[in-house]
Structure 1
Amino acid sequence: MVVGDVTTGTDVLVIGAGPGGYVAAIRAGQLDLDVTLVEKEAYGGTCLNYGCIPSKALISATDVAHDAGDAEEMGIYADPAVDLQRMVEWKDGVVDQLTGGVEKLCKAAGVNLVEGRAEFAGEDTARIVHGGEGQGAETIEFEHAIVSTGSRPIEVPGFEFDGEHILSSREALALDAVPASMVVVGAGYIGMELSTVYQKLGCDVTVVEMLDDVLPGYENDVSRVVRERAEDLGVDFHFGQAADSWEEAGDGITVRTENEDGDIAEFGAEKCLVAVGRRPVTDTLNLDAVGLEPNEDGFLETDHEARTDVEHVFAVGDVAGEPMLAHTASAEGEVAAEVIAGEPAALDHQAIPAAVFTDPEIGTVGMTESEAEEAGFDPVVGQFPLRANGRALTLDEEEGFVRVVGDGDSGFLLGAQVVAPEASELIAELALAVEMGAQLEDVAATIHTHPTLSEAVGEACANALGEAVHTLNR
């Protein structure tokens, strides 16, 4: 028996329960709006289920094993045994705890949860197709809609994901045994994070990248520290190489790449991870019905209120464009909900931090020196090396730095770049400083606990002022 169409109504229809969608739904519920949240697969979206959380869980677990087995200089001798299947089960437990929490929080905020795939059927209606035989569909009439459908991994032609030989990041995070060898196509943040994980687990990792260095978009001295650490771990890099084709070979595969001169290189491996980026998911939405069209890059363009070209339709998260970060999605979701509720709210992307969970981590916020110059500022730069920080030395972490960029005229902090252990945590102080319009002297005058990595933040700001004590001033 097939359940026929039923029609319901809601103030706010949220499509997609990732970190943008579920936050938008909860905030809208807190503001006394009637909210319906539609999710076709898993609450928490890619971030909680197949991306941010599971990857960081594996990074943390892998670091425990690697650090224990690589501490002879400290007088520690160990040879840890890794059970990847058990590690993945632990990772899945972390994911389940968080996704279950999302569902409870949504219900506590009065959000109506609907499982299914949503597509627009008109300017103020959407059709929800439920999974499973005989589950039918329903129509939801809405006053406002928030699109939060996220993104999916980009497939390289000829390297379609099969889950056996050619892996996406999702499948690479669910392997139950460590491959003997792996070719990673792409040296962006996903490729670098997972390359490091599997190299530390004992996999022989080869990275092929069509550009000339890792982590495109980051300054050379930032990416250099991460690349050299990965090389020290044993990761083999080949730059200027574009993935061309692959074929099965014995128990594994052979990956062929081509450089700009047309020369072909071959790399044998057991698995191939393709990590060349992600593209927004808009093809499932029937956007024409609501009068929307993605731009040439596939994103839904929005304004400072997260509003699209259609006044009552908002877009948040990866589907709305760069920066494609979970915390950006959440911030945009809150803004969209508050705007719909008539509250004053707007986005300020200048103070949004970014982090890469490589070894060491990278944290950035605001402008680089060159970006500040392009924006018309006369920047001053302060930098503090980790080798001069006592806590870094006690962690056996000498490579890396904290760099700050300020306005030479006003002294306002414009941005920062951190390459260090826990850079994802250290950048928060600097993001707050940028957000509140703090000056370099405000951060430099803040007393930082000793001995901590955070002292490098204060010292970098002091260095920009020519007042650093524990490093030579510029």
Structure 2
Amino acid sequence: MVVGDASLDIDTLVIGAGPGGYVAAIRAAQLGKSVLVVDKEYVGGVCLNVGCIPSKALISASHQYESVNHASAFGISASDVKVDWSKVQEFKNGIVKKLTGGVASLLKANKVQYFNGEVMFINENEARVFNDQEAPRYRFKNCIIATGSRPIELKAFPFSKRIVSSTGALSLPEIPKSLIVIGGGYIGIELGQMYSKFGTKVTVIEGGDTILPGFDKDMSSIVAKKLKGTNVDIVTGAMAQGAEQTDNDVTLTYKVGDKEEKVTADYLLVTVGRRPNTDGDLGLELANVKVSERGLVEVDGQCRTSNPNIFAIGDIIAGPALAHKAMYEGRVAAEAIAGLPSVIDYKCVPAVCFSDPECASVGYSEKEAKEKGHETQVGKFPFAINGRAMSLNANEGFVKIVADKNTGLVLGAQIIGTEASNMIAELGLAIEMGATLEDIALTIHAHPTLGEIVLDAAEVALGHPIHTVVK
């Protein structure tokens, strides 16, 4: 590489190698562009390294441990079940290594250049990429910014040995005897419940009146009930005030109304949201890229910023901070650069929480559909009377389908129960394809499967269910 003032030419510069960035880079390369992707940390971004993937590995391990301990429900006796935390961490790290290595191989196979370092815009079509060894300057035709986000660090709770972010919570040196979680959103609930299954006493402090605020209350209430039965205390309407640390523990002070309370635990996990990585030395103002007061980049329907040659995707633009949303936007941006008419359409972005039981939703809730002016037709069917759910001893939850009463078009769906994260895909496709309740009801679902619950919910909405009685 050339170091100095001479600029190297590149068709597409991608800043960030997370889910959005690497997908954008590969798609741009597939469309004939010369591509350079730059990341200051690691291939795969937060999701693959310290987010989605490692957390799900630990969650799966906790499910296995719990399953063995409760095998008596199936007539199986298990005794002296132990957790080797170092082996659990090895399992997690092994998955991360395989996936990040796979992404690196995909970039190479698609002839995408990779640079481990940082980026600083010089002007509207040039940027310096640099690390400790080199600092080449690139002139780009187009750029895709995919710098992601980081956990919000509160002034009253600076991250330390005993006060950790979601990143720190994935690599604790031991399974804690006790854990406090500030924030009852999906990250706090997933990680808190994971540790509770390994035997940790968990206390969740949530400022709102319910956990999992992004999901329907009839879903979050089922998760809350399950949490309370597995060594988790949930305190809602609570505001964290401050914390005192020692070498061995941390004490949180919080208020519920006017009453002040304290709770002590081995660790305090702070999960109060994420902040977009648009600050620092990136130099967006030099590139004429407008950013809102919240630090979000303003984009149009193709993820194009105020600079028509620069695009932005993922956690740094409006909408939920979800890896699959970033991947989708990465494809759209790359295709827009190539001159294709691709545009973003968020009506089918699923939301999933890997709690126990799992929560998943897509499209409109019943309330949202009514607010949009639809007369609704709703079908709801429980896991409890599905044969496959019974055989899995996973009876909690339901499938709920929301449709337009006049047309039968599926508008949205909510699922809570085992494998909800996989089941939601069928309903997302139904919405995307403009399917009706009758289309779902006429689709033969294999028996015995959890997917049959979707069929049964559609039949309930249509008024002629086979496996339940309409009241």
Task: Quickly say closer, same or farther: Cα 1:306–1:250, change in 2 above 3 A.
Answer: closer
More deviation, 452-461/463-472: 463-472
Q: Residue 123 of structure 2 aligns to a residue in which SS?
A: coil
Once the two structures are superposed, residues 187-214 of structure 1 have per-residue CA deviations (whole angstroms, 9 ceiling, x without a partner) of 0000000011100111111111111110
Match of 1:214 in 2: 211
Once the two structures are superposed, residues 329-370 of structure 1 have per-residue CA deviations (whole angstroms, 9 ceiling, x without a partner) of 101000100010011211111011121100011111000111
Q: CA separation in 1, counterparts of 2:268 and 2:6?
A: 46
Match of 1:177 in 2: 174
Alignment partner of 1:195 out of 180, 192, 195 = 192
Once the two structures are superposed, residues 388-408 of structure 1 have per-residue CA deviations (whole angstroms, 9 ceiling, x without a partner) of 111111111121000000000
Once the two structures are superposed, residues 221-276 of structure 1 have per-residue CA deviations (whole angstroms, 9 ceiling, x without a partner) of 01111111111111011111111111124721111112343x32100101111111
8 Å contact from structure 2 (residues 207, 237) kept in 1: yes
Match of 1:205 in 2: 202
8 Å contact from structure 2 (residues 156, 242) kept in 1: yes
More deviation, 347-356/424-433: 347-356
8 Å contact from structure 2 (residues 3, 137) kept in 1: no
8 Å contact from structure 1 (residues 381, 464) kept in 2: yes
8 Å contact from structure 1 (residues 291, 310) kept in 2: yes
Q: CA separation in 2, counterparts of 1:249 and 1:175?
A: 17
Does residue 137 of structure 1 match 2:138?
Answer: no
Aligned partner of 2:21: which letter?
G
Alignment partner of 1:329 out of 320, 326, 333 = 326
TM-score with structure 1 setting the length: 0.96
Aligned partner of 1:396: which letter?
N
RMSD: 1.4
8 Å contact from structure 1 (residues 5, 136) kept in 2: no
Does residue 124 of structure 1 match 2:125?
Answer: yes
Once the two structures are superposed, residues 267-300 of structure 1 have per-residue CA deviations (whole angstroms, 9 ceiling, x without a partner) of 0101111111111110132111011232122211
Alignment partner of 1:318 out of 311, 315, 320 = 315
8 Å contact from structure 1 (residues 178, 203) kept in 2: yes
Q: Residue 121 of structure 1 aligns to a residue in which SS?
A: strand
Match of 1:281 in 2: 277
8 Å contact from structure 2 (residues 290, 298) kept in 1: no
TM-score with structure 2 setting the length: 0.97
Aligned partner of 1:125: which letter?
E
Number of corresponding residues: 468
Once the two structures are superposed, residues 371-390 of structure 1 have per-residue CA deviations (whole angstroms, 9 ceiling, x without a partner) of 11111111110000111111
Alignment partner of 2:344 out of 329, 338, 347 = 347
1:358-437 to 2 correspondences below 5 Å: 358-437=355-434
Match of 2:248 in 1: 251
Aligned partner of 1:326: which letter?
A
Does residue 51 of structure 1 match 2:47?
Answer: no
Q: Quote how far apart the aligned CAs of 1:6 are.
A: 5.4
Q: Quote how far apart the aligned CAs of 1:322 are.
A: 1.3
Q: Residue 137 of structure 1 aligns to a residue in which SS?
A: coil
Q: Quote how far apart the aligned CAs of 1:4 are.
A: 4.8
Q: CA separation in 1, counterparts of 2:349 and 2:181?
A: 29
Q: Residue 430 of structure 1 aligns to a residue in which SS?
A: helix
Q: Residue 324 of structure 2 aligns to a residue in which SS?
A: helix
Match of 2:148 in 1: 150
Match of 1:112 in 2: 113
Q: Quote how far apart the aligned CAs of 1:303 are.
A: 2.0
More deviation, 317-326/74-83: 74-83
8 Å contact from structure 1 (residues 280, 319) kept in 2: yes
Q: CA separation in 1, counterparts of 2:75 and 2:69?
A: 11
Q: CA separation in 2, counterparts of 1:342 and 1:7?
A: 25
Q: CA separation in 2, counterparts of 1:193 and 1:287?
A: 34
Q: Which runs of 4+ in 1 moved over 6 A?
A: none
Q: Quote how far apart the aligned CAs of 1:3 are.
A: 6.3
User: What 5-or-longer segments of structure 2 have no aligned partner?
Assistant: none
Q: CA separation in 1, counterparts of 2:467 and 2:146?
A: 47
Aligned partner of 1:75: which letter?
G
